[in-house]
Structure 1
Amino acid sequence: MKIQNEIETKLNKAFSASILQVENESHKHSVPPNSETHFKVTMVSPEFAGQMKVRRHQAIYKVLSDELEMAGGVHALALHLYSPDEWEASGQVAPSSPNCMGGSKVDA
């Protein structure tokens, strides 16, 4: 849980989030057990008010650049980023991640 903890720590430090959920979804993919390669981040922050989705994502990528760029690091990052008003309008539920449709090199 080293990478997950780093993600949580960095995002908490960089944003004033009222909600931050970081879920390791690696087990849903064709990776070795205990991997930390696929994450879903749900965050609610007033900093996102009036900001386009692409700007929100860029802000996250900047904060997590080390985790995204290191070999064996984060391979996939699902981002669900809301302003407080958007979170209320969503019913306070982030979408579920789809099941992995890819195969393993071992299966080939």
Structure 2
Amino acid sequence: MTDTSTGPVASEITARLTQALAPSKLDVINDSAKHRGHSGDDGSGESHFTVAIESAAFAGKSRLERQRLVNRALGDLMTEKIHAMAIRATAPGE
């Protein structure tokens, strides 16, 4: 089961990606409940996410370059708050 409700970490992910990449579509899905009790579960209920993002910033970029753009936009969240993130990054029309 996925949770699309917005907690403080999900809200910060949304804000940072919106500011850095001006997405035309953005879904931040909290997958943490699937990982309860596993390694990396910090008990916060916000440690594992899926991000589906569409942005013109990804046009002409490889999958790796797109993931790097997302990781750069999230900065310290990736090391301090987020244990795991699945990224589906596309350009408009893909």
TM-score, normalised by the number of residues in structure 2: 0.83
Listed as ranges, the gaps of 5+ residues in structure 2 are 1-6
Aligned ranges for residues 29-44 of structure 1 at < 5 Å?
29-30=35-36, 31=41, 35-44=45-54
User: Paired residue for 1:84, among 81, 88, 92?
Assistant: 92
Equivalent residue letter for 1:82: T
Q: Which runs of 5+ in 1 are unaligned?
A: 87-108
For each residue in 1:36-93, what CA deviation from the matched residue of structure 2 results, as whole angstroms up to 9, or x when unmatched?
00000001111111100101101111111211111xx10100000001121xxxxxxx
- 1:62 equivalent to 2:68? Answer no
Letter matched to residue 74 of structure 1? I
For 1:52, the equivalent position in structure 2 comes to 62
- State the shift of 1:33 in Å: 5.9
CA distance in 2, matches of 1:55, 1:32: 29
Structure 1 moving runs of 4+ over 3 Å = 31-34
**Which of the numbers 2, 12, 22 marks the counterpart of 1:16?**
22
